[in-house]
């Protein structure tokens, strides 16, 4: 089955449109259309009021014997919603309105009546002026006088505008550009002052990088703590501390977890437990550095005892405040002799 809605239909090769039968319709044919009541009306049969804008399924026809300037006039047929009596009205092209024919009466409209009365008075007045030549002359004189007064008023307004319009557009633009330049310059100066106040005495480049001044030779000879105290005292802003060197931690006590009873990593603590078989010349000279006198005729046992004492004295500064168990063991002189 073909589609119901298509763009192109099939025409056979032998199709001849002139052979199609033409539908002949009468000129008095009526069309059923949906329309609205153009004005407020009242039915003559039952007295029902029909307000403006009420919708009806009406019949429309063309008036055969009535035209206006070659335009057709249409007539409409509606039924009363209460008694179903027929009501007719037609178009009024001369007044751009609708005209009631029969079946109902149009309600009173004060605005429409006032407009019609004003138009009628104006028409009568124009007819009277056109018929009386003296009134035509008076009207013409009055119109010329009004025109002269309006021209004088316009000239006065032009003179007033010319007196007050002493400004030149080019001067206004130049003044505005100079004002913008001065305002930008003031903003740049304020920004530069703010940067200097924040970064202190150091030089600030165009990129916003602070150049710290080199310290003098006199300050190099001072201790670190004293230099830092002088820098902090001389700084006027809290942010000057950022440009100072970081403080080094001096004599900071070690935490508890770094302290131990004994340390097996230091070689000095084991020197007391090792006994040299043959002391070398370097080991003989070592006691002289700590104030002990070495004698060439000492016995073997005395030499070993002196070496152990020297090793103990060397390991004492590096060890912690609490002596380790291995260092206490090395202080006994009998430990070396019993091992023999």
Q: Which tops the pLDDT comparison, 24 or 168?
A: 24
For 130-179, the pLDDT digits (tens) are 888 888 889 899 999 999 999 999 999 988 888 777 767 788 888 899 99
C-alpha–C-alpha distance, residues 199 and 239, integer Å: 7
Q: How far is the C-alpha of 286 from the C-alpha of 110, rounded, in Å? A: 138
Of 310, 307, 289, 309, the C-alpha closest to 298 is: 307
The C-alpha angle 105, 107, 108, rounded to 5 degrees, equals 130
pLDDT number for residue 8? 85
Spatial distance between the Cα atoms of 175 and 160, rounded to a whole number of angstroms: 25
User: Which carries the bigger pLDDT value, residue 227 or residue 156?
Assistant: 156
Q: What is the pLDDT of residue 113?
A: 85
Q: What is the pLDDT of residues 52-104, one digit of tens each?
A: 999 999 999 999 888 999 999 999 999 999 999 999 999 999 988 999 999 99
Portion of the chain with pLDDT greater than 70, in percent: 58
**Least confident span in 12-26, 31-45, 49-63, 240-254:** 240-254
Using left for φ > 0, alpha for ψ between -120 and 50, and beta otherwise, residue 328 falls in alpha
Greater model confidence, 117 or 220: 117
Considering 252-256, 296-300, 331-335, the range whose residues carry the highest mean pLDDT is 252-256
321 pLDDT band (50/70/90 cuts)?
very low
Instruction: Please give the backbone phi and psi of residue 91, each rounded to the nearest 5 degrees, phi first.
Output: -80, 145
Asked if 62 contacts 25 with a C-beta cutoff of 8 angstroms, the reply is: no
- CA 69-72-76 angle, to 5 degrees, is 140
Q: Is the dihedral of CA 201, 205, 209, 215 positive or negative?
A: negative
**Shortest CA distance to 279 belongs to which of 296, 263, 292?**
296
Q: What pLDDT does residue 268 have?
A: 52
Which residue matches tokens 């032998």? 14
Tens-digit pLDDT profile for residues 269-295? 555 555 656 655 545 444 444 444 444
Higher local confidence (pLDDT), 114 or 317: 114
Alpha helices in the chain (DSSP H): 110-131, 133-164, 169-199, 217-220, 224-234, 281-289, 300-318, 325-330, 334-339
- Find out whether 114 and 124 touch, Cβ atoms under 8 Å: no
- Look at residue 292 in the predicted model and tell me its pLDDT: 43
Give the span between the Cα atoms of 45 and 87, in whole angstroms: 10
Lowest mean pLDDT among 122-136, 164-178, 192-206, 219-233: 219-233
| Residue appearing with tokens 């070689």 | 267
Residue that has been written with the tokens 């138009």 in this structure: 119
Ramachandran bin of 90, using left for φ above 0, alpha for ψ from -120 to 50, beta for the remaining angles: beta
| Band (302; pLDDT cuts 50, 70, 90) | low
pLDDT attached to residue 318: 46
What local confidence, expressed as pLDDT, does residue 61 receive? 94
Give the Cα separation of 336 and 274 in Å (integer): 9
* DSSP code of residue 81: T
CA dihedral sign, ordered 45, 48, 50, 54: negative
CB atoms near residue 190 (< 10 Å): 10
Most confident of 119-128, 146-155, 171-180, 245-254: 146-155
User: What's the rounded Cα separation, in Å, for the pair 332 and 139?
Assistant: 150
Average pLDDT over all residues of the chain: 75
pLDDT at 254 over 80: no
User: Which carries the bigger pLDDT value, residue 291 or residue 106?
Assistant: 106
pLDDT, residue 278, reads 60
Whose structure tokens read 């001072």?
222
Identify the DSSP state of 293. P
Q: Which residues contact 310 (CB under 8 A, 6 or more apart)?
A: 286, 287, 290, 292
Comparing 106-115, 205-214, 221-230, the range with the smallest average pLDDT is: 205-214
């Amino acid at each position: 089955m073909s589609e119901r809605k298509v763009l192109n239909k099939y025409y056979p090769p032998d199709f001849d449109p002139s052979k199609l039968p033409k539908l002949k319709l009468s000129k008095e044919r009526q069309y059923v259309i949906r329309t609205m009541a153009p004005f407020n009306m009242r039915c003559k049969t039952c007295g029902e009021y029909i307000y403006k804008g009420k919708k009806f399924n009406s019949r429309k026809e063309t008036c055969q014997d009535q035209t206006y300037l070659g335009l057709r006039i249409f007539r409409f047929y509606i039924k009363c919603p209460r008694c179903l009596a027929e009501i007719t009205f037609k178009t009024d092209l001369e007044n751009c309105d609708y005209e009631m024919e029969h079946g109902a009466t149009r309600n009173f409209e004060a605005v429409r009546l006032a407009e019609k009365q004003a138009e009628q008075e104006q028409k009568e007045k124009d007819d009277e002026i056109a018929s009386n030549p003296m009134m035509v002359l008076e009207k013409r004189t009055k119109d010329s006088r009004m025109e002269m007064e309006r021209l004088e008023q316009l000239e006065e307004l032009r003179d007033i505008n010319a007196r007050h319009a002493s400004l030149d557009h080019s001067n206004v633009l130049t003044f505005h550009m100079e004002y913008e330049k001065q305002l930008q310059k003031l903003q740049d100066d304020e920004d530069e002052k703010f940067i200097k106040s924040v970064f202190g005495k150091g030089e600030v480049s165009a990129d916003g990088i602070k150049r710290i001044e080199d310290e003098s030779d006199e300050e190099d000879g001072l201790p670190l703590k004293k230099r830092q105290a002088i820098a902090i005292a001389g700084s006027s802003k809290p942010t000057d501390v950022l440009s100072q060197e970081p403080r080094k931690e001096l004599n900071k006590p070690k935490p508890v977890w770094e302290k131990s009873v004994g340390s097996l990593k230091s070689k000095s603590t084991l020197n007391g437990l090792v006994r040299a078989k043959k002391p070398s010349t370097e080991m003989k000279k070592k006691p002289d550095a700590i104030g002990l006198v070495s004698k060439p005729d000492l016995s073997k046992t005395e030499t070993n005892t002196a070496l152990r004492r020297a090793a103990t004295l060397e390991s004492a500064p590096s060890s912690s405040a609490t002596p380790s168990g291995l260092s206490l063991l090395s202080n006994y002189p009998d430990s070396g002799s019993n091992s023999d």
